[in-house]
Chain A
Amino acid sequence: MTLIATPVDALPTQPWRRSTSSRLHNLGYGLISLGAAGIVTLISPLAGPLGFYLVFVVVRIALIVPLVARDSIAARDQIMAVVITAGFVTAFIPWASIVSTVVREGLEAFHSDYLFTDMKTTSATDALGEGGLLHAIVGSTIILVIASLIAIPLGIVAAVYVTEVKGRLTRFVRLMTMSMSGVPSIVAGLFIYSVVAAEFGFSALAGALALAVLMLPTVSRTAEEVLGLVPLELRQASYALGANQVGTTFKVVLPTVRSGLVTASVLGLARVAGETAPLIFTAFYSASFSASLTGGAIGSLPMYVFQNFKVGTAEAITRAWGGAFVLLVFISSLFVIARLLASRSRKKV
């Protein structure tokens, strides 16, 4: 015998949860729209996947319209939900197309030696089994390493000024960092051209300087965000133990967020790794392997794509896609590294 019975109908209801019937309704509407889109695509000039998608969205919205008379607020809510979701999905269609085209076309350029030879003895019309992009990978690596050596320390110092020194110019420095992140990449290239390349000719060093200009604000802004995560108590504890500001910054603040700073640097690298415009004026392009810092024009992945595109033969265009593929893989892996480090640093702080 139980005194405290638990009647089944007293279970807490969750009115915000979708009920099974409304899920079924949604599914039904979705299927009707799909069917209608299929039929219209087959019998009208709106052919192709884009037409199908367009008709699907329109029909899906049209199916809600009759409900306006019954409950206009709910109907409007539904319509906006479809419109906003469609806006989001539509925005991703071109990006999906970009990635799939790069992968599909890019893989065609690949052969067993693609990553291990240069284009020194390969002409634009040679078969795809010839030539490769070793020179571009090596050149890009050299340029990016030098750019990092310049931009990362400077960027972190600028962030330290904003979060640690907090001098009178803090607001000005932040504003300048923001406006510098909007400097067009071609302007950075022209600047280094007029300072360095116009006097000393094209070189990997000039390319690195131009990329450093573009990298600096990204590193600085991300580093600033990361340093802001350091608890004030840590700094106070350090001061209380008698440390000065130099010690506090180098022995407490910066080590605390080491992996966060690495993330900032990697994001900065990813931002400039694909820049083409500044390299046109600084490192230019060379089809043969070179690992020299100041020894004239040098190949790089973005310029490899650009030059092959400009040549314009069928083989060259395929090679351009191949370069684009390698570039995308490179940037994506930088991002994955940055994400992994970021999630590690978040756990630690």
Chain B
Amino acid sequence: MTVTDNTSVTSTPEPRVLSVRRRGADRVFRGAVTFGGLSTFIVQALIAGFLLYRGAQLFADYGIDFITSEQWINAGDTPENGATYGVAAMLVGTIVTALIAVIVALPFVVGTSLFLEFYAPKRLRSILVSLLDLIAAIPSIVYGLWGYIVLVPQVSGWSKSLNEYLGWFPLFDVPIPIFDRSPLTAGLVLTLMILPIATSVTREVYSQTPRDQLSAAYALGGSRWGAIREVALPYGRSGLVGGMLLGMGRALGETVAVLLTLNLAFDINFRILASAGGNVASLIANNFGEAGPYELKALLAAGFVLFCTTLIVNLIASFIVRGAERKYA
């Protein structure tokens, strides 16, 4: 019987082999995570693929006319039975309402983000910033409801005066004096909806303004506004553009709020006070319930057009914002 005595064995530990090669578990892990990382890309590819596939017949039947013609007549469902489909009026409506939102929002985005960054008392700032985050989460259905019941009567009043004094200007012309649920109303609701996101992006960039340059401006005897105008505003310019474009992306795809505050009508309409308009998203939501099989395909094709439009705007915005962040980081 042999007794092994551990204490008597003198062993030097084997030197560890160092290697930069990844071990098996890591390779599996990295592969799995890479796949997960690509999920955002895969989902977007699937969205584009499925909508295009389901709506393909429309593009085959109409070609470019689907984009350029403004009639959307669903009686009879198929073109053989007299129906015809085109999203031009809705595309124009989408762009008009989003543009109104961006133009009206711009001064408020600048004002709000400058106030938060340079004027608000320190203690108040963090509270206001999280309040703004909370406001960003107000659901669009609530905006729509409020827009329909509270804002529509208000805007009708303003529109009436605008039309009375500036009606000679084509933009403010109204063929029939009905001012309810106009593109202006929808645009103002969208303004409120994009303000929080655009402001938070812009404020973020303003907050990265180099402190030494701001201090230098003050040291040279500049006033607060002087420092903002000469240092902060130029630095934040691309952040502002990116933030506004991100907001515009939101405005282009908004559905329920527009559905509730804009009177759906299939004419290309640049008269922003008239009670007629619509956007692609609200057309889809409005017609989905009663759509026949062919119109359903048309709605999916319209969804594809909307997806591409917002994708382009968002990609441009991402590039601009990322460029701004890299420049000042």
Contacts and interface: CB of A to CB of B under 8 A. Distances in A.
Interface in A150-196: 154, 157-158, 160-162, 164-165, 167, 169, 172-173, 175-188, 190-191, 194-195
Contact of B255 (A87, A160, A186): A186
Contact of B108 (A76, A87, A167, A244): A87
A167 B22 CA distance: 13
Contact of B195 (A91, A157, A161, A217): A91
Nearest to A188: B47
Interface residues of A, number: 82
| A182, A216, A270 interface centre (most CB from chain B within 10 Å) | A182
A73 B285 CA distance: 53
B13 to A, nearest CB: 13
B136 to A, nearest CB: 8
A85 B115 contact: yes
Interface in B116-130: 116, 118-120, 130
A161 B33 contact: yes
Nearest to A328: B142
Contacts of A87: 107-108, 110-112, 115
Interface stretch (A2-10, A27-35, A93-101): A93-101
A95 B189 CA distance: 11
B54 A194 contact: yes
B40 to A, nearest CB: 4
Interface in A75-132: 76-77, 80-81, 83-88, 90-91, 94-95, 97-98, 101-102
B309 to A, nearest CB: 9
Interface in B273-287: 281, 284-285
B37 A169 contact: yes
Given A77-B224, A190-B284, A332-B134, A216 B43 contact: yes
A289 interface: no
Q: Tell me what chain A mostly uses at the interface: helix, strand, loop, or mixed.
A: helix
B111 A317 contact: no
B318 interface: yes
A245 interface: yes
B115 A274 contact: no
B137 interface: yes
A320 B145 contact: yes
B47 A179 contact: no
Interface stretch (A61-69, A230-238, A291-299, A302-310): A302-310
A211 interface: no
Nearest to A91: B108
Contacts of A244: 22-23, 25-26
Given A87-B111, A94-B192, A246-B29, A172 B142 contact: no
Contacts of B249: 182
A271 to B, nearest CB: 6
B139 A331 contact: yes
A159 B250 CA distance: 23
- Most chain A beta-carbon contacts within 10 A, residue among B115, B195, B260, B311: B115
A309 B260 contact: yes
Contact of A73 (B47, B144, B149, B223): B223
Interface residues of B, number: 85
Given A91-B195, A321-B145, A184 B252 contact: yes
A194 B51 CA distance: 7
Contacts of A317: 149
A188 B224 CA distance: 45
Contact of A179 (B50, B149, B318): B318
Nearest to B28: A246
Interface in B296-329: 299-300, 303, 306-307, 310-311, 313-315, 317-318, 322
B137 A335 contact: yes
A76 B144 CA distance: 39
A182 B38 contact: no
Interface string B227-261: 01000000000000000001001101111100010
Nearest to A171: B322
Contacts of A77: 223-226
A76 B230 CA distance: 14
Contacts of B114: 84
Given A84-B115, A87-B115, A101-B150, A157 B39 contact: yes
Interface of B: 22-23, 25-26, 29-30, 32-34, 36-41, 43-44, 46-47, 50-51, 54, 107-108, 110-112, 114-116, 118-120, 130, 133-135, 137-146, 148-151, 192, 195, 199, 223-226, 228, 246, 249-250, 252-256, 260, 281, 284-285, 288, 299-300, 303, 306-307, 310-311, 313-315, 317-318, 322
Given A87-B115, A244-B25, A246-B25, 5 more contacts: A80-B228, A165-B33, A176-B44, A195-B50, A276-B141
24 contacts: A84-B119, A85-B119, A86-B111, A91-B195, A91-B199, A95-B192, A157-B36, A165-B37, A167-B34, A173-B40, A179-B315, A183-B307, A184-B252, A184-B307, A216-B43, A246-B26, A273-B137, A274-B137, A274-B141, A277-B255, A277-B256, A331-B134, A331-B137, A335-B130
Interface of A: 73-74, 76-77, 80-81, 83-88, 90-91, 94-95, 97-98, 101-102, 154, 157-158, 160-162, 164-165, 167, 169, 172-173, 175-188, 190-191, 194-195, 198, 213, 216-217, 220, 244-246, 249, 270-271, 273-277, 280-281, 302, 305-306, 309, 317, 320-321, 324, 327-328, 331-332, 335, 339
